[in-house]
């Protein structure tokens, strides 16, 4: 496609022109016949009587230029329903078709098509859903009838379920803070304060509580769990700084031994790291709990229905730090043996528990029994 600078127009002259004219003669035609300024920077296209020759005159800022093209076969295309004495404005695509297109005068028929694709983006847009509920009155008895208003996810709120879902996904899946979402909405012409968005998120969580409870029941129904916690900064209004809260996660994943249940994770927030927090979360759990070295988990073993399993990753970390600091050969040997255990685990991962029990892999230098 021929790309034209911004503001440049293309004038296609109709009628047959004496194509023997030089650049000066064509410039005079532009001025006297077309009533245009040949020094305007626009393009003026002329077509000869045989239609196999075109000339384009234009001013490039330093002087008049002449572009000429003659076809050895066929003719140049042009519209046939325009006044022979007039002109036609062309865009870049039309100019390219005029220069490249060839027409022998024969009848055209479809021989195929060229298909190409472009990846497009349709921006999201906000809209107002207007709910109209006619009221009907009875002249005989004076009663008024009207259909009840549809239920809203937030009482007297403006947000539809789709908008609430968008805000929640943007915040928790795309990690987009509410103040940035507020700015995005403002660019679309809708002012939604961050505090309003925060109220929407809190209200939407009420609808998700049954889902969270069902997810927790699925997770705590496993006979083996992984538990961990991490600190998170939490706003502390009035103090000018943040405080530290805790986010607890409990995960079940039966895939390493081909368990039938799907993997899942459930999260809980607490303002501190007291031992009573995991005790409350795991009050209905019975089985093996894989944890780090946090002492608060120890009290869970008192009733006798929870067995703690240490984490090899946390144990290996101590040997790694020691080896990095001192080059201890004992720490190096410990990491080597842990690596052998990891290799055994990789070789049996994905097999059923029964298959795993029957696999005996001798350590280097030892014979299996």
Same domain for 315 and 303: no
Among 263, 294, 310, which residue terminates a domain?
Answer: 310
Nearest alpha-carbon partner for 254 in 284, 218, 281 = 218
Lowest mean pLDDT among 21-35, 125-139, 160-174, 176-190: 21-35
> Tokens 């572009």 label which residue?
67
Same domain for 301 and 275: yes
> What is the DSSP code (8-state) at residue 75?
B
Does any domain span residue 117? no
Q: What is the spatial distance between Cα 46 and Cα 38, in angstroms, rounded to a whole number? A: 13
Number of H helices, E strands in the chain: 9, 12
Same domain for 32 and 77: yes
Backbone angles phi and psi of 366, in degrees to 5: -125, 150
Residues 6+ apart with CB under 8 A from 171: 177, 178, 181, 201
Number of domains in the chain: 4
State the pTM of this model: 0.61
Same domain for 189 and 261: no
Does any domain span residue 132? no
List pLDDT tens digits, range 131-142.
999 999 999 999
Same domain for 231 and 193: no
Does any domain span residue 52? yes
Report yes or no: 17 and 46 within 8 Å, Cβ to Cβ. Answer: yes
Report the sign of the C-alpha dihedral through residues 289, 293, 294, 299, in that order: positive
Residue numbers of the domain that contains 347: 311-369
Report yes or no: 308 and 291 within 8 Å, Cβ to Cβ. Answer: yes
pLDDT recorded at residue 15: 67
Same domain for 271 and 204: no
Backbone angles phi and psi of 306, in degrees to 5: -125, 130
Q: What is the spatial distance between Cα 91 and Cα 89, in angstroms, rounded to a whole number? A: 7
Average pLDDT of the chain?
87
42 has a pLDDT exceeding 70: yes
List pLDDT tens digits, range 197-256.
999 999 999 999 999 999 999 999 999 999 999 999 998 888 888 999 999 999 999 888
Does any domain span residue 122? no
> What is the DSSP code (8-state) at residue 223?
S
More confident residue, 313 or 85: 313
Among 82, 100, 118, which residue terminates a domain?
Answer: 100
Report yes or no: 246 and 270 within 8 Å, Cβ to Cβ. Answer: yes
Q: Round to the nearest angstrom and report the end-to-end CA distance of the chain.
A: 78
Strands 241-252 vs 264-270: parallel, antiparallel or unpaired: antiparallel
Does any domain span residue 189? yes
Q: What is the spatial distance between Cα 20 and Cα 105, in angstroms, rounded to a whole number? A: 24
Same domain for 330 and 283: no
CA dihedral 354, 357, 358, 360 (to 10 degrees): 150
Percent of the chain residues past pLDDT 70, beyond the cut: 90
pLDDT recorded at residue 246: 95
Same domain for 265 and 184: no
Does any domain span residue 73? yes
Does any domain span residue 258? yes
Residue 17: CB atoms within 10 A of its CB come to 19
List pLDDT tens digits, range 275-300.
999 999 999 999 999 998 888 999 99
> Tokens 């906000």 label which residue?
126
Among 260, 294, 310, which residue terminates a domain?
Answer: 310
Q: What is the spatial distance between Cα 353 and Cα 260, in angstroms, rounded to a whole number? A: 12
Residues 6+ apart with CB under 8 A from 242: 233, 234, 235, 236
List pLDDT tens digits, range 53-90.
888 898 888 889 998 888 777 677 665 555 555 677 77
Does any domain span residue 149? no
List pLDDT tens digits, range 155-174.
989 999 999 999 999 999 99
């Amino acid at each position: 496609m021929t790309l034209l600078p911004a503001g440049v127009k293309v004038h296609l002259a109709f009628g047959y022109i004496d194509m023997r004219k030089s650049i000066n003669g064509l410039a005079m035609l532009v001025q006297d016949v077309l009533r245009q300024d040949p020094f305007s920077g626009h393009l003026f296209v002329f077509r000869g009587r045989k239609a196999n020759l075109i000339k384009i005159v234009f001013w490039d800022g330093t002087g008049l230029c002449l572009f000429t093209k003659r076809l050895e076969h066929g003719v140049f295309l042009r519209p046939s329903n325009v006044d022979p004495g007039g002109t036609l404005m062309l865009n870049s695509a039309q100019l390219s078709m005029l220069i490249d297109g060839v027409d022998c005068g024969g009848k055209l028929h479809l021989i195929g098509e060229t298909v190409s694709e472009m990846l497009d983006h349709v921006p999201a847009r906000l809209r107002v859903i207007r709910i109209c509920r006619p009221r009907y009155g009875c002249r005989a008895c004076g009663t008024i009838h009207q259909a009840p208003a549809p239920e809203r996810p937030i009482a007297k709120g403006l947000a539809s379920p789709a908008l609430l879902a968008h805000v929640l996904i943007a915040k928790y899946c795309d990690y987009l803070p509410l103040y940035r979402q507020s700015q995005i909405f403002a660019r679309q012409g809708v002012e939604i304060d961050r505090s309003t968005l925060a109220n929407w998120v809190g209200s939407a969580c009420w609808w998700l509580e049954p889902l969270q409870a069902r997810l927790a029941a699925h997770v705590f129904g496993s006979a083996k769990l992984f538990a961990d916690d991490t600190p998170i900064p939490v706003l502390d209004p009035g103090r000018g700084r943040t405080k530290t809260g805790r986010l607890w996660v409990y995960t079940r994943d039966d895939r390493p031994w081909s368990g039938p249940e799907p993997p899942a994770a459930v999260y809980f927030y607490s303002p501190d790291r007291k031992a009573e927090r995991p005790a409350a979360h795991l009050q209905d759990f019975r089985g093996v709990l894989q944890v780090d070295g946090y002492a608060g988990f120890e009290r869970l073993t008192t009733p006798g229905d929870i067995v703690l399993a240490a984490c090899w990753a946390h144990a290996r970390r101590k040997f790694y730090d020691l080896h990095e600091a001192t080059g201890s050969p004992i720490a190096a040997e410990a990491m080597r043996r842990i690596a052998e255990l990891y290799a055994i685990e990789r070789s049996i991962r994905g097999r059923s528990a029964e298959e795993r029990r029957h696999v005996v892999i001798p350590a280097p230098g030892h014979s299996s029994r």
